[in-house]
Structure 1
Amino acid sequence: MDAFALTPANLAAIAAMAVATYATRVAGLWLAGRIPQGGRARAALDALPVAVLVAVIAPGAAAGPAEILATIVTIVAVLRLPLLAAVVVGVGAVVALRALLG
Structure 2
Amino acid sequence: MNAVTKALFLVVVGLLSQTVQAHFPIMTCELENGMIRCETGFSDGSLTVNKPVTVLDYDDEVLLQLKTDSASAVEFSAPEGEYYIRFDSGHEQPVEIDYDEL
TM-score bin (small chain): under 0.3
Q: TM-score, normalised by structure 2?
A: 0.27
- Could you say which structure has the higher helix fraction? 1
**Which protein, 1 or 2, shows the higher relative CO under an 8 Å CA cutoff with sep ≥ 6?**
2
